[in-house]
Amino acid sequence: MGRADSLQAECSCSYTSHQVPPAALNSAFRRGHGASAARHRPDRQRQARTGVIPSCRLDVRTRGDAPSSAAPQRPQHPPIPTYVKAAGRVIAIPDIHGDINKCVVSLELAGVLRQVNQRPVWCGGNTVVVQLGDVLDRGDIELGTLLMLRDLDEQARRFGGAIYVLNGNHETLTVAGNFRFATRGGMQESAKAMGVSGPALNDIVQLGMARRRMYKPGGPGAQMLAMNPTVLVVNDTLFVHGGLLPQHVDFGLQAINDAVSAWMRGEAPASSKDNAQMIAMGNAHSVVWNRMFGAKDFQKKGRAYVQRTLRTVLERVGATDMVIGHTPQVEGANMELDGQLWRMDVGMSMGVLNAAPQVLEITRDANNRSVKRVLTALPVTNGIPCGVPYCQIRW
């Protein structure tokens, strides 16, 4: 990590909605930075319909400006999870794209979130939730969504559950400094978190500079994302944003996760065409960009070729099926290739298709065989998700 990127941070946070508790922001930055405890103050204003806009003041100092004579130490990073065992249900939630309301509906639909005194509380017991990536871009509440998921993960782990958020192509795009899919609201959210206020919040140049400071490799937002896997296997199910190919397996799933994480932490450049970063995110055949499995009727490669490829991947990984996001399924979540492929991105964000949320539930039968069904929320009315207690079961 370079001298200018060795940061200390203090956060003074306020939220305009109940949906993301201030403790989540404090915890996320403290773990991502090794920062001291934050101070919080409530905000009486509320943001109608759009959920939450966190306003976090980040006091950033370079190593040379640190008030203490002792140089800050690089935090110790826990290993990125790649293979996980779950004793209870497993839930897959597809691309969120900055729509915190649809995220909340998805979690309620899955039966893992309830609101107590207008705050999100984990009620899923030992359920493991896998969010398939693309929390960022196309929507206004990106950071707030990440922090809510991180706070719920902390709650879930007290009961043996967990929430894993995968890195998708929009996370890697953002860390690489490509903001062409960011909304003005999303830019303002990250700018507020970096201490921008007043007229500067309407200056697109200032917004871009603040977003870059937030999400550049080694920045506070990038360090949050660096704690997330790019590929995850839970029990016998493979979860990935775009899709895994045999050449990805050749490189090694743990190596891919570790390399992406190191790059996001600012510890490794993204350059060589033969390294794990290229395998994970470098081109149309990479882990987060691959659309071969998501294409309608597998038009480009053909069904037989795609099925052979998937079978090879699953055999080598030791999984029975793969769950992906990334490519919106305009007709809804679906199962393909004799149940070995589940395509879950329905474009639920208001910035994509504004579709009704759908989540995949995985349980085990009496013979310990995997049983899957897709849960579907009621349709959206005037941009507001309808009540989730009444849902359909697609499978």
Question: CB burial class (10 A; 0-12, 13-18, 19+) of residue 84?
Answer: middle
CA–CA separation, 172 and 184 (whole Å): 19
Which DSSP state fits 2?
Answer: -
Residues 371/363, Cβ–Cβ less than 8 Å = yes
Residue 271 tokens, joined: 């350059």
CA–CA separation, 243 and 343 (whole Å): 10
How many C-beta atoms surround the C-beta of residue 209 within 10 A? 15
Compute, in degrees rounded to 10, the torsion defined by CA atoms 181, 357, 124, 33: 0
Catalytic residues: 170
375: nearest Cα among 163, 71, 105, 146: 105
Helix (H) or strand (E) holding 165: strand 162-165
Residue 227 tokens, joined: 């704690």
Strand order in the sheet with 237-240: 83-84, 231-234, 237-240, 321-324, 341-343, 334-336
CA–CA separation, 309 and 383 (whole Å): 39
Angle of helix 143-157 relative to helix 22-33, nearest 10 degrees, comes to: 90
In sign, the C-alpha dihedral spanning 236, 239, 245, 249 is: negative
Helix (H) or strand (E) holding 351: none
For residue 116, the cross-strand partners are 119
